[in-house]
Amino acid sequence: MPRFFIRQNQIENDLIHIVGEDAHHIARALRMAQGEKIQVVDMQSNLYNCTLVEFIQDKEVVAKIDSQEKCDTEPSHKITLYQALPKSDKMETIIQKSVECGVFEIVPFNSERCIAKLDKKDQDKKIARWQKISEGASKQSGRGLIPEIKNVLTFSQMIEDAKRKDVVLFCYEAENGQTIKNALSQIKPNGTIALIVGSEGGFSIREAEQIKDSGIKSVGLGKRILRCETAPAFALTCIMYETEL
């Protein structure tokens, strides 16, 4: 069943007003008609089972709420992925797979070995594009919200932001002892998790020491070296196994 995301102000009594690209998609791409069923999520993990009742040209679709329930697809812990900027279109893959794996939000950042560099103009365009990818992946995977793609941080800003989470997982290839399982052993229910992943070249020794000096401990991702577009999904899967499965 098609799923769409709305804001609370689009709900009026027992009616939901779907506008913009989603309204056009329902009317033109999906060619749906009055009486057909859709699911709507309000970004707060509330799921509405609806029946389409009115089409106002291609600009608005009105759906009647048949029933409401809590969307049970959101992880118990909010995970923020701090991803060093990769080159080419790898970030798109990272966002898509991370959203499918349950990430709460994604924060890009710059590091010494990042090949990709974004100026302010490029950043705004990229983030808008990345946000659309997050939305598409959220619809496909049945999420209860659309993970937000934040503005790009400097390396130092990333460290300070990550330290605000309850548990911080710094994925570092030189770490052979500490595992994700061990690092999560003391996390409290509904706690927040920061996951830090490097770009193609990983982290320099200076950067790794800077992170560790801030009090953040590193974790290993096994005996093999993972690509930067593989590591986030792998780590998120490990986290989901430990906290959800």
Residues 50 and 154 in one domain: no
Domain closes at, from 24, 46, 70: 70
Q: What is the CATH number of the domain that holds 9?
A: 2.40.240.20
β-sheet with 78-84: strand ranges across: 148-149, 105-109, 78-84, 192-197, 167-171, 218-219
Domain closes at, from 45, 70, 95: 70
List per-residue pLDDT tens for the chain, 245 residues long: 889 999 989 999 999 999 999 999 999 899 999 999 999 999 888 999 999 999 998 789 999 999 999 988 899 999 999 999 999 899 999 999 999 999 999 999 999 988 878 877 788 999 999 999 999 999 999 999 999 999 999 999 999 999 999 999 999 987 777 889 999 988 888 899 999 999 998 899 999 999 999 999 899 998 888 999 999 999 999 999 999 88
Residues 37 and 104 in one domain: no
Strand, coil or helix: 178: coil
Find out whether 165 and 194 touch, Cβ atoms under 8 Å.
yes
Residues 54 and 96 in one domain: no
**The total number of structural domains that make up the chain:** 2
pTM: 0.89
Token pair, residue 9, equals: 């102000």
Domain containing 179: what range? 78-243
Find out whether 178 and 220 touch, Cβ atoms under 8 Å.
yes
Residues 32 and 150 in one domain: no
